[in-house]
Amino acid sequence: MIAVLVACATGGCDTSPSSPGESGPASALAPAAPASAPATSGAIALRDVAAPRDAAADALAAHAVARPRAPDRAKTLTIYAGGDVNFGRTLGKQVLRDPDYDPFSEIAPVWKAADLRFVNLESPLSDQGGETQSPRNHLVFTGPPGGARTLARAGVGIVSVANNHAWDYQKSAFLETLDHLTSAGVAFAGGSAEPGEKAYDPVILEIKGWRVAVFAVTQIWNQGVFNRHEGRHHVAWADVKKVRRRIDRARKENDLVLFSYHGGSEYMDQPMQTSAPIMNAVMMAGADAFLGHHPHVMQGISWFGDRPAFRSLGNFVFGMHRDHRWTGIGLLAKLTFHRDGRLDAAVCPFHIHGTTPMLLSSKGERGRKAVEIMIRRHLQQISVGTGRSDVGEPGEHSCMKVGPPTKRRSPHAASDRIPRGRRDAGQLR
């Protein structure tokens, strides 16, 4: 059972690296707490700190802080992360007709062994009298309140609400969304009902003795300039200063730090340069994984030592764009963290039928193999632009192991052996 110990971070677009119109960081945000549970008690052991190997590692070691570790922490923790999930439009109508409808059912075999499931919730969940898309603008949509229960039944433990559609039906619908998620027992990051900066704070989850901090931000906003919009008080922006100091603290107090990022350019298989500053900042501060979404297509993987930055996972439960074929393929990131500090990473691709993610095996044996080859080659090719990535042969459920390029390991990779401090494996594009 997941106990939420600390809750917070939940067309024309503002995509500047920091909020425009002011010299300092963007003004603030806030989150409301999902159901909380008391922190567990018991003996606390300090994590060992490896000896630095060179001057650069010495500097990093100065920031490496031993962290409390629960004596009964499980040997491994497996996290699956998916991209964009939209309960608006046709899916919302389906949920209204059949509250038990499950758009995740076909993909369930892939992530059934997950200890934690994460997705980006790309729509509000609000009661608009049966409306799931604006009659005046097809890019404005909302899911029904029942979408929260659908997420909970699928075992989704946490979502990001920091994205450009968070405010599609204004403040009231955004706050209603948070209420529905809380009632369903689904945690959210990147948003808060309480105005201020709480949306920037992480949600802390305790799972099998592991403490996991989850952050979420957006770098794109559909309602004009972000720092002039009232949403800035409730949604977290990709503000490097605000985010980095919080990750520094979370790194010291938790076993894992996950960072969700919503930004970039739609339908482009290479990330925009505007995403690099926030990615570099959070990964150099010690985040264990960077989970990107918004482009609606997969993008390459960057590596900071053995820690992955998935620049875009693509669509998950979201209709395919007929003019962009890769919107019909998405990735689930599979992250298995070991108690000894190792990380096994993989991607599990799927195709989308309507708005439903489907196993590649649904295409038949020949079709599955052909699509696996195509996806593997594509991911290898687009990862050249993000620093390269090894992509293994497809295995069960078409999942492919991924890792840093074996022939081009970063010269700073040894610093990744320094536990949970500020670790730099080189800034990437």
Q: Which residues of 266-301 are buried (b: 16+ CB within 10 A; e: fewer)?
A: eeebbbbebbbebbbbbbbbbbbbbbbbbbbbbbbb
104 half-sphere exposure, CB direction, 13 A CA radius: 26
Q: For the residues 44-67, what does the mean pLDDT come to?
A: 34
Of 242, 320, 336, give the one whose Cα is nearest residue 8: 242
304 half-sphere exposure, CB direction, 13 A CA radius: 26
Judge whether 425 lies within some domain. Answer: no
The number of distinct structural domains making up the chain is 1
Distance CA 127, CA 129 (A): 6
For residue range 218-263, list pLDDT tens digits in order: 999 999 999 999 999 999 999 999 999 999 999 999 999 999 999 9
Q: For the residues 319-335, what does the mean pLDDT come to?
A: 88
Q: Is the backbone of residue 295 left (phi > 0), alpha (psi -120 to 50) or beta?
A: alpha
Judge whether 427 lies within some domain. Answer: no
Judge whether 224 lies within some domain. Answer: yes
Q: For the residues 281-296, what does the mean pLDDT come to?
A: 96
Q: Are 260 and 189 in contact (CB under 8 A)?
A: yes
Judge whether 164 lies within some domain. Answer: yes
Q: Report the chain's mean pLDDT, rounded to a whole number.
A: 83
Residue 46 burial (C-beta neighbours within 10 Å; 0-12, 13-18, 19+): exposed
Q: Choose the weakest-confidence range: 37-46, 289-298, 323-332.
A: 37-46
The sign of the CA dihedral 306, 309, 314, 317 is positive
Q: For the residues 78-99, what does the mean pLDDT come to?
A: 96
Distance CA 297, CA 310 (A): 12
For residue range 101-130, list pLDDT tens digits in order: 999 999 999 999 999 999 999 999 999 999
Task: Give me the torsion for CA of 102, 157, 180, 175, rounded to 10°.
Answer: -130
Of 308, 305, 293, 80, give the one whose Cα is nearest residue 207: 80
For residue range 290-308, list pLDDT tens digits in order: 999 999 999 999 999 999 9
Q: Are 331 and 391 in contact (CB under 8 A)?
A: no
For residue range 5-35, list pLDDT tens digits in order: 433 333 334 433 333 333 333 322 233 333 3
Q: What pLDDT, on a 0 to 100 scale, did the predictor assign at position 305?
A: 95
**What are residue 414's DSSP bridge partners?**
none
Distance CA 301, CA 245 (A): 25
**What is the CA angle 89-97-141, rounded to 5?**
20
**Residue 249 DSSP SS3:** helix
For residue range 373-392, list pLDDT tens digits in order: 999 999 999 999 999 999 99
Other beta carbons less than 10 A from residue 75's beta carbon: 10
233 half-sphere exposure, CB direction, 13 A CA radius: 9
Q: Is the backbone of residue 316 left (phi > 0), alpha (psi -120 to 50) or beta?
A: alpha
Q: Which residues contact 363 (CB under 8 A, 6 or more apart)?
A: 351, 370, 371
CATH number at residue 300: 3.60.21
Token pair 């996290």: residue: 79
Q: What pLDDT, on a 0 to 100 scale, did the predictor assign at position 232?
A: 97
pLDDT-derived band of residue 58, with 50, 70 and 90 as boundaries? very low
Which tokens go with 316?
A: 């998950």
Other beta carbons less than 10 A from residue 129's beta carbon: 4
Judge whether 104 lies within some domain. Answer: yes
Judge whether 323 lies within some domain. Answer: yes
Domain enclosing residue 249, as ranges? 3-417
Judge whether 24 lies within some domain. Answer: yes
Judge whether 109 lies within some domain. Answer: yes
